[in-house]
Each structure stands twice: as C-alpha cells, then as structure tokens.
Amino acid sequence: MHFGAIKSLNPPPDKVNGSITTGEYTWGSFMRVVAAQSDIGGSRTIAGKDTARSIAEMGLYEARKGGKAFSQLYAAQALRHFGSDLNKNAVWQSMNAAEQKEWASLLDATRIYDPKTREVINLPENYLGVAARIAAYAYEFGVMKDRAFLDSLIERAALQFTSGALFADDDLPNGRYDRYSNEYIRFCWKAAEVVGRKDILEKLKPSMKAQMKLWWDLVSDKGYGYNWGRSQGLVSYLDTLEIAAFLGENPEFRPAPVADIASLYNLAWRWIRGGYIDDRHTFNLFAYGRGNYSYISLQREFQQIATSFAKIIVAHDSFMRTLESEGVTEIPAKPNLGNVARFEWFSTAKDRPEGVWLVRQGNLRFALPITVGTKPGMSDYLAAPFGLAGFANPVEQVYPSLVPFIEMEDGKTYAASEGSSIIEPSRDGQSLRVVWNKWGRVGSKSGERFDTGITSAVNWRINGDKLERTETLTAGQDIKIKRWWVAVPSTADRSRIETSGDKRTDIFEGVDGILKVTAKADWPLAAAIEASGDSKLNKGVLEAIPLHLVYSAENIELRKDKKSTWKLILEVSKRN
C-alpha cells in the first residue's frame, strides 16, 4: 500500500496515505523496509515496481539532503539486503558512477562521528553504536577501506562495556540509564560481528548477559519491556520483538527457555497488531491519551511506520527461523516470568549511585529507577514505580509524579532527582532506602544538583500488595518551604473517596485494576482530584491518564535537625 502509493521519488511526496513524510530519517527508514520486504519476501517487485532502483533513489535523496544517523544506518541495511558484494548488488548496479559516489557518502560514519575527539557530534552516547554499524557495513561493502579507523570506532563505541560497565550511561558523565543501554550493546555486537572483532564480542558478553537478565526481570506479562525513560509505548513492544530475535540468534544470552521468550514475542506482536489502524495503514501513535517524546512528531509519522514495519519483518524472519530450527511447535499462552524482587546497580559511584529496583510479586509489578533524566524533574525518569497497575506518568513532562516538588522562598523549585547520594537496597529485595543530599532544580541542566540545605531520605517498603513510601526531610538550619506538592497520576476512569476519622483513602478503578491511595504528613495536607482533559498531563505511553490525585501544602517550616515525615501508601488489587 505505501510503496504503491508513491508515484515519484524525485522529489518524494510530502504525504503517503495521509501520513506526513517530512520528518527526520523518513526515507532512510522507508528504503530499509522496502529492502527487507523485497529480500525476505523473495521478490524485487512490489506493487508492480522495481524496488532496487527506488531504494537507490531514496538513498540519493538522503545523501543530497545530508541525511545522518539512522538514515545512514537504515540505508546501509537496505543496501545489505541486496548483498554485500556490490558488483552483484541490484541497488548499486542500478546507479551510474556519479550516483554511486553520492550514495557512498551516505555510508560515511564521520557525518555523525568525529575521529579526532572520538565522540559523536551533538548526539547521545548510544549513537556511537549507530556510527559503528554504519562503518562496519561500509567496510564490508568495500566503500570504506580504512581498517584502522573502523577498529578505532568500534573500540570507542564499546568502551563503556569493555571497561567494565554492565550498563551504558547515555549522557556521560551525568548518568542517564534507560532502554538505550540494551539497544546500544546490541548495536556494538552487530558491528563487531560483521567485521570479525571476536575480541570485542568476548568483552561484551558480561554486559550482554546482565542486560538480557534485566530485560527479562522487568518485562511485563503482556510483552512490554522497559517502562521508564524516553522512547516508550510502541517502541518498547518492538524492542521485545528485536530482543527475542537477538536471543534466538545468540542462545548463550537467553535468560529463559526459548518457548517463554516466544510467548512474550507473541504477546508483543498481538499488542502491536491491535494498535494498527487498517484503513489508514498506520500505527496508533497519536490517539487520545497517547504520549510521545517530542521527536516522535506528526512530521515523523511515516518514518515511524516504516521503522516499525522493518523491525517487525526482520525480527519475525529471524525468530521464526530459530523456532523452526529448534523444533519449537508450541508456546505457552503466558510466559513463566517468575517472581522478582531485587536491585540492579547501574553505577556505584560514591557521589552518584544509580540503579533500578525490580519487583514482580503478587499484584505488585514495577521498576523503580534511580537515574538522571533528560531534564531535572522529568517525569519519565523520576524515582517512581513504573509499571505499577493504575499508575502512569505523563510523557516528557516536568511533573511531580510520586516525587514531590518543593518551591523555596526564592521561587526556585527542586526535586529529589538526578541520581542520588546514597542507595541501600535490602538483601531480600523487599525494601529500598535512597537519600538525596543534593537536589535537581527545575529549569537547570540535566544531571546538575544543588544543595538546598535539606536532606531527603526515602524508604520504600513492600507490605503484601501495598507499596509504602516514607520520606523524611531534615534541614541543617531552620528553613521554610514555600510550596510542596506531589501527584499520583492514574489511568483509572473513575474514582471514589472513603473516609475513616481523619483518614482519607482515594480509590481508583480502571481496566488495570484497583489502586488505593492514602497519605499522611507531619504538616497539614490538602488533597484534590484533578481531571487532565486532553492536556499533556493526560498523555501516557500506553493509555490516557485522566485523573490526578494531587497532595499539596504551603509554608512548611523545617526546624534545624528535626525530622519531618510524610508517608504514601499505594495498594494494588484486581477487579472482581
């Protein structure tokens, strides 16, 4: 449908089947899916048109307009689908010498990588993996012949992992950990594998094993993987397909039997298929209540369609081959995930320890990260239980989702974010203590921390199906907090209040179950239910967040060395 709807690529259309094509990476993404379908489907002709020449034209368009990063990687992958020997490659042979020279420029990793500084140019750390794969494919094609440059780039890309880190900081040296760590190491693996760097592959193994174990311990029983940070929603379900395919090809890293991995694959695929809009031939990215990071814009809708299709086609072909070769003919309807209660360290740095608390037991299922966000106070990175039934954070919003914001008398607002000062997980995984001696300040730089004169010590504890959060504030001198507020955003579609004496319990009911919320504090606490309407606060990664329970207080006076405490209890139960 998409390929057939394109009448000309000189220039390419601004829309295809109603989806805008003017966003970044669009034609690199689309050439990859056309190539993947042509290769795996076994025909160079799609919708009555020759795919090889069309892919050549899309690559020329990207080359001429300065396409970078994923446009380059997807172009290289598209070309590879037609064979690594360019003398026999139908795409390459459809071009004249001048066009081949232009196309080759698209395979130049220095568009995004500076070999002098050995850094990517104005991009997150994980793009080193993108650059390494571009260079590896260029070398495989014979377009780039500088082996010393290639080896240096691959070694630089893998440096965090080969230096002993199990997880990658995507914003060195600030400490941002999220789903990109898993994708990053898979990219490094693919680059090293293509050019035979077995020494790099060997050094990547400890991290790969740890990362796949982490993924298995946080993935939901619906096939949804990483649930905090940027690039969630559809992307996280697609991650499950790609990770399953990778584990199929590399059984030594499997954290579970392949049949259980296949069960997750099936569940993720069904969610993706359920979100596809047949009459528009697109994915349900921008529906009511669906949030995306700003770079997934309407201008990139067609790019997201193409990228998703390519990931699905390639992963499915690979994983089905695995199941067939291993004789897997039946898979469980639900995977045997097992109970989890443990803490995974990302960094044990004395000045900023980071990690994630993983819990899957009873009705409690969540991942609670202690890390640095894209901005201080960014809801997607706060120390909150992502994945907890009935709770969700609004996407890419500086917002106090289960982590209070405090406004001081000078008008500046702070949050206990940007890593931590102390992390003390319990041995049995049933509790976690985290201390912030320094705070993130709203409006400042990512990773930047400030001394407010207040220490926050938070104790999380599991009590049956209850998750209890107790926070103690201690000031080094008498301090007044002008305003204090915290929100419990909920995916529930209805709520009610129960009272017993001075105790208030807010009960949220929705398709995910029932979430009961109670709070108390050493200071007067106001509580209100706020409807988010169709605002940005309503947009979650998977569904709408229509109701927000907001607790607030004003003019809290903290006395020197006197502890002041507030407690929040979240109880999860299933609907009858």
How far is residue 79 CA from its own chain's centroid?
Answer: 28
For the domain that residue 395 is a member of, what is the CATH number? 2.70.98
The pLDDT value recorded for residue 280 is: 83
Alpha-carbon span 88 to 86, nearest angstrom: 5
Give me the pLDDT at residue 576, please.
67
Query: What DSSP line would sit under 163-182, residue for residue?
Result: TT-SS--TTTTS---STHHH
260 and 384 in a single domain? The answer is no
The CA distance from 134 to 327, in Å, is 35
* DSSP helix/strand/coil, 189: helix
Token readout for 365 is 């299922």
* DSSP state at residue 401: B
Q: How many angstroms separate the CA atoms of 576 and 572, rounded?
A: 13
Identify the three-state secondary structure at position 509. strand
What is the Cα–Cα distance from 176 to 171, expressed in whole angstroms? 6
The count of other CB atoms within 10 Å of the CB of residue 338 is 11
| CB-based contact 236:224 (threshold 8 Å) | yes
Distance CA 150, CA 192 (A): 10
290 SS3 class: strand
For residue 421, tell me if it sits in a domain. Answer: yes
* Residue numbers of the domain that contains 300: 219-337
- Please report, for residues 176, 230, 400, 477, 538, the alpha-carbon distance to residue 375 in angstroms, rounded to integers and kept in the order given: 10, 12, 13, 28, 20
Domain assignment present for residue 40? The answer is no
Are residues 479 and 369 both part of a single domain? yes
Q: Is residue 283 part of a domain?
A: yes
Residue that terminates a domain, selected from 281, 316, 337 = 337
Residue pair 115/149 in contact by the 8 Å Cβ criterion:
yes
- From 287, 309, 337, the end of a domain falls on 337
Q: How far apart are CA 82 and CA 417, in angstroms?
A: 48
Q: Domain check: are 452 and 426 in the same one?
A: yes
Query: Which of 298, 317, 337 is at the close of a domain?
Result: 337
Give the Cβ contact number of residue 111 at 10 Å.
18
Q: Tally the domains of the chain.
A: 2
**Within 10 A of 417 (CB to CB), how many other CB atoms are there?**
30
Q: β-strands 113-114, 503-510: how paired? A: unpaired
- pLDDT at site 181: 97
Would 162 be classed as within a structural domain? no
pLDDT of residue 109: 98
pLDDT at 298: 87
Q: E strands along 384-501, which residues?
A: 405-408, 413-415, 422-425, 431-436, 439-441, 449-450, 454-463, 466-475, 479-490, 494-500
CA distance 393 to 545: 8
Reduce the DSSP state of residue 347 to 3 states and report it: strand
Does residue 16 lie in a domain region? no
Same domain, 349 and 312: no
Burial 261-300 (b: 16+ CB within 10 A, else e): bbbbbbbbbebbeebeeeeebbbebeeebbbbbeebbebb
End-to-end CA distance of the chain, in Å? 44
422, two tokens? 């102390």
Q: Between 180-194 and 234-249, two packed helices, what is the crossing angle to 10 degrees?
A: 40
**Is residue 407 classed as helix, strand or coil in its secondary structure?**
strand
Measured CA to CA, the distance from residue 218 to residue 255 in angstroms comes to 12
Residues 250 and 333 in one domain: yes
- Asked whether residue 364 is assigned to any structural domain, the reply reads yes
What was the pLDDT predicted at 189? 98
| Residue 397 and residue 259 share a domain | no
The answer to whether residues 246 and 358 belong to one domain is no
pLDDT of 149: 98
Alpha-carbon torsion 113, 191, 313, 37, what sign? positive
Cα–Cα distance measured from residue 452 to residue 88, given in angstroms and rounded to the nearest whole number? 66
**What pTM was estimated for this model as a whole?**
0.95
* Closest CA relative to residue 363, chosen from 512, 253, 553: 512
322: tokens are 């695995």
**Residue 324 in domain:** yes
Residue type, position 112, single letter: I
Tell me which residue of 95, 55, 96 sits closest to 75, measured CA to CA.
55
326 and 419 inside one domain: no
In a shared domain, residues 316 and 377: no
What tokens does 85 get?
């020997």
Are 447 and 482 part of one and the same domain? yes
CB 17 within 8 A of CB 295: no
- Residues 397 and 482: beta-carbon distance below 8 Å: no
Query: One digit per residue, pLDDT tens: the chain, 576 residues?
Result: 788 888 888 889 898 888 888 888 999 999 999 999 999 999 999 998 999 999 999 999 999 999 999 999 999 999 999 999 999 999 999 999 999 999 999 999 999 999 999 999 999 999 999 999 999 999 999 999 999 999 999 999 999 999 999 999 999 999 999 999 999 999 999 999 999 999 999 999 999 999 999 999 999 999 999 999 998 899 999 999 999 999 999 999 999 999 999 999 999 999 999 999 988 888 888 889 999 998 888 888 889 999 999 999 999 999 999 999 999 999 999 999 999 999 999 999 999 999 999 999 999 999 999 999 999 999 999 999 999 999 999 999 999 999 999 999 999 999 999 999 999 999 999 999 999 999 999 999 999 999 999 999 999 999 999 999 999 999 999 999 999 999 999 999 999 999 998 899 999 999 999 999 999 999 999 999 999 999 999 999 999 999 999 999 999 999 999 999 999 999 999 876
Is residue 81 a part of any domain in this protein? no
The token pair that represents 428 in the structure block: 């049995």
In this structure, are 434 and 364 located in the same domain?
Answer: yes
SS3 for 254?
coil
- Find the helix or strand (DSSP H, E) in which 557 lies: strand 547-558
Same-domain status, 510 and 390: yes
Say what the pLDDT of residue 8 is: 84
Task: Give the amino acid at 116.
Answer: K
